[in-house]
């Protein structure tokens, strides 16, 4: 009996009635967030020009994703643009079904086709799209590749109208309905149960104390006690010389505690062995798929989005369905050097990137999870490329860039409500929550004798993890490539070294002193950045004058948020 596998996909078509004669085909930011967790737009055709790099990228559709929404639009008004669609599967067990006409004109209504089946595994599907543009004889042709991961539905087969099934393959009629319990639902159920238990206990305690409370008679002291202590019924004046408030042991302990609170943490010598760390973090470069999206780019380095295919053993195979199902695709951001970098750049880059390697993991600290290379680090002569320094991240990317885009109103969020319309709006309590997360990461570093020296929004990552005041997760990152990616934030004061002058404390500028107190100063400037949505601090002050104005007592003005 032939096993059928159906690929579902929804195509949203917009017809824009303005502008020049051109067509666009892309996956929107909202859809990228939903399917891959990346806040970026993937363009296949932009202003009539095919992005060959994007079309070569196979869009990976995970088992929990049942549809991918493509968007296209045309601005051609003088004639209709015809299209042709054709889907080809790389496996005979897969039956691609397109539930919109294979030929026609660019539609204005949404058409959907969905995926269900009982065969598990990974399948390749190629969607061929042909547009009659710029002319009927000279067409625009593009090929879109998808890799669909499908899991077994425990023998459930598609036996009726596709509309009878939801996007997770569960039947939606009254006789055989499926209940999908998500992690979010479980969380709210647990919170509700705990709240109910606390409420019941509180009511029982109130009832108990009200029933047992009795009116106590006024206390009458014996006559001999009143005679010996005639002032016992009134508040006597306290005589500080009569007895010490604390004994000597308690006083010494209190003094030690006060000294500990006020103690400044100095930097400990670094104990990171770069070569040993690279060997420990090694990952096969072939398991990483670089996305055609640049998060940040500098002269010698860049930050890129990527997908890491891994399983428990750190590698994935394509020979067995069980092995494919064990694979876990993780979204990461990776820092790496360009081909014009040299060995000096590489050594500096690795030293800065691995500075947190020996520190225990912490939720608000972005630490390197892999160093990917085509050659092994225990055989340096086999290395032919600059390594990818990878951070596990599924969100908006760099915090400074995120704040700047929020200021411009160009960030789309995952959880849309009728009030926010899907546009990112940062409220004061959310900004304060982000600041608290940063300071917790700083305290974690100081606990292990690490002084950051360059705390700023440019050295943080941000992602959306839920709803409420803590929906945004901020992670403090290392300083690798920051000077190259944000050159306008660093200045040279005549010592041939670029430094973040406007984030540095006075003693750091004067004597190159760095400790927990100077980190606290830099955090204050970072807090100002948060509340001003990444405005430039001391924008009207010349870098050479920073030490002078700080000595004179000038400080940042109240940020306008």
Residues 277 and 386 both lie in one domain? yes
Q: Bridge partners of 145?
A: 126
Predicted structure pTM score: 0.59
Residues 356 and 402 in one domain: no
User: Which range marks the domain in which residue 531 is found?
Assistant: 398-561
Q: Is the dihedral of CA 547, 553, 557, 558 positive or negative?
A: positive
Same domain for 308 and 428:
no
Distance CA 419, CA 286 (A): 44
Closest CA to 430 of 472, 389, 368, 393: 472
What pLDDT is recorded for position 29? 83
Q: Which candidate, 206, 196, 7, 203, places its Cα nearest to that of 119?
A: 7
- CATH number at 307 reads 3.30.200.20
Q: Are both 13 and 138 inside the same structural domain? A: yes
Strand partners, 294: 304
**Whether 403 and 384 share a structural domain:** no
Q: Could you tell me if 536 and 528 are in contact, meaning their C-beta atoms sit under 8 angstroms apart?
A: no
What is the predicted pLDDT for the residue at 21?
47
Contact 525, 456 (CB under 8 A): yes
pLDDT at 246: 39
Nearest to 72 by CA among 129, 7, 123, 138: 129
Residue 132 lies in a domain: yes
pLDDT value for 122: 65
Q: Are 471 and 430 in contact (CB under 8 A)?
A: yes
One-character DSSP codes across 118-130: S--EEEEEEEEEE
Mention every residue, 6+ apart, whose C-beta is less than 8 A from residue 159.
none
Q: Distance (Å, rounded) from C-alpha 200 to C-alpha 191?
A: 14
pLDDT tens profile 405-422: 988 765 555 445 444 444
Site of tokens 């600290």: 365
Which residue ranges in the chain fall short of pLDDT 50?
A: 1-21, 108-119, 152-180, 215-222, 224-255, 258-259, 314, 317-319, 322-324, 414-415, 417-423
Distance CA 126, CA 88 (A): 5
End of a domain among 163, 185, 209? 163
Same domain for 427 and 561, yes or no, is yes
- Partners of residue 302 on adjacent β-strands: 297, 336
Residues 60 and 126 in one domain: yes
Query: What's the full length of the chain, in residues?
Result: 561
Give which of 309, 304, 308, 307 is closest to 293, Cα–Cα. Answer: 304
Query: Has residue 261 been placed in a domain?
Result: no
What order of strands is seen across the sheet that includes strand 301-310?
282-284, 368-373, 388-392, 328-337, 301-310, 288-297
What is the structure's pLDDT at 97?
Answer: 60
Residue 77 belongs to a domain: yes
**50 and 139 fall within a common domain:** yes
Say which CATH number the domain at 528 has.
Answer: 1.10.510.10
- 415 and 542 housed in the same domain: yes
């Amino acid at each position: 009996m032939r096993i059928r596998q159906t690929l579902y996909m929804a195509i949203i078509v917009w017809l824009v009635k303005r502008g020049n004669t051109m067509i666009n085909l892309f996956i929107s930011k909202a859809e990228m967030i939903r399917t891959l967790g990346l806040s970026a737009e993937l363009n296949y055709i932009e202003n009539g020009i095919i992005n060959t790099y994007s079309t070569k990228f196979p869009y990976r559709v995970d088992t929990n994703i049942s549809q991918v929404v493509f968007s296209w639009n045309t601005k051609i008004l003088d004639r209709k643009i015809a299209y042709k669609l054709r889907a080809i599967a790389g496996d005979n067990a897969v039956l691609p079904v397109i539930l919109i006409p294979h030929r026609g004109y660019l539609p204005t209504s949404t058409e959907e086709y969905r995926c269900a089946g009982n065969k598990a595994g990974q399948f390749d599907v190629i969607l061929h799209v042909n547009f009659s543009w710029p002319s009927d004889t000279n067409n625009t042709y593009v090929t879109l590749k998808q890799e669909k991961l499908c899991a077994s539905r425990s023998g459930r087969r598609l036996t009726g109208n596709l509309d009878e099934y939801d996007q997770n393959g569960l039947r939606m009629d009254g006789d055989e309905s499926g209940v999908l319990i998500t992690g979010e639902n479980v969380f709210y159920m647990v919170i509700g149960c705990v709240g109910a238990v606390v409420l019941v206990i509180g009511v029982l305690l109130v009832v108990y104390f009200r029933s047992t409370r009795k009116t106590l008679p006024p206390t009458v002291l014996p006559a001999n006690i009143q005679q010996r202590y005639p002032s016992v019924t009134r508040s006597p004046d306290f005589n500080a010389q009569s007895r010490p408030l604390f004994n000597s042991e308690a006083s010494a302990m209190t003094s030690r505690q006060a000294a500990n609170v006020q103690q400044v943490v100095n930097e400990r010598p670094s104990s990171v062995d770069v070569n040993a760390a690279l060997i420990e973090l090694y990952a096969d470069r072939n398991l990483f798929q670089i996305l055609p999206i640049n998060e940040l780019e500098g002269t010698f380095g860049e930050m890129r989005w990527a997908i890491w295919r891994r399983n428990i053993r750190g590698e994935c195979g394509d020979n067995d369905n069980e092995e494919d199902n064990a694979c876990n695709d993780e979204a990461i951001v990776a820092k790496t050097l360009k081909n014009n970098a040299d060995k000096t750049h590489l050594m500096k880059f690795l030293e800065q990137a691995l500075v947190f390697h020996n520190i225990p993991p912490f939720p608000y600290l972005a630490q390197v999870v892999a160093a990917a290379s085509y050659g092994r680090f225990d055989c340096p002569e086999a290395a032919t490329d600059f390594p990818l320094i990878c951070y596990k991240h599924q969100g908006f990317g760099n915090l400074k860039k995120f704040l700047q885009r929020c200021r411009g109103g160009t960030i789309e969020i995952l959880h849309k409500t009728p009030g926010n319309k899907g546009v990112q709006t940062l409220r004061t309590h959310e900004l304060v929550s982000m600041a608290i997360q940063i300071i917790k990461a700083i305290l974690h570093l100081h606990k292990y004798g690490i002084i950051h020296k360059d705390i700023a929004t440019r050295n943080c990552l941000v992602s959306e993890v839920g709803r409420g005041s803590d929906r945004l997760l901020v992670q403090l990152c290392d300083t690798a490539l920051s000077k190259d990616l944000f050159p306008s934030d660093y200045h040279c004061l005549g010592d041939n070294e670029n430094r973040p002058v406007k984030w540095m404390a006075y003693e750091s500028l004067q004597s190159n002193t760095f400790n927990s107190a100077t980190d606290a100063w830099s955090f204050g400037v970072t807090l100002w950045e948060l509340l001003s949505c990444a405005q430039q601090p001391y924008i009207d002050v010349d870098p050479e004058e920073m030490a002078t104005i700080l000595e004179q007592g000038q400080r940042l003005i109240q940020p306008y948020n």
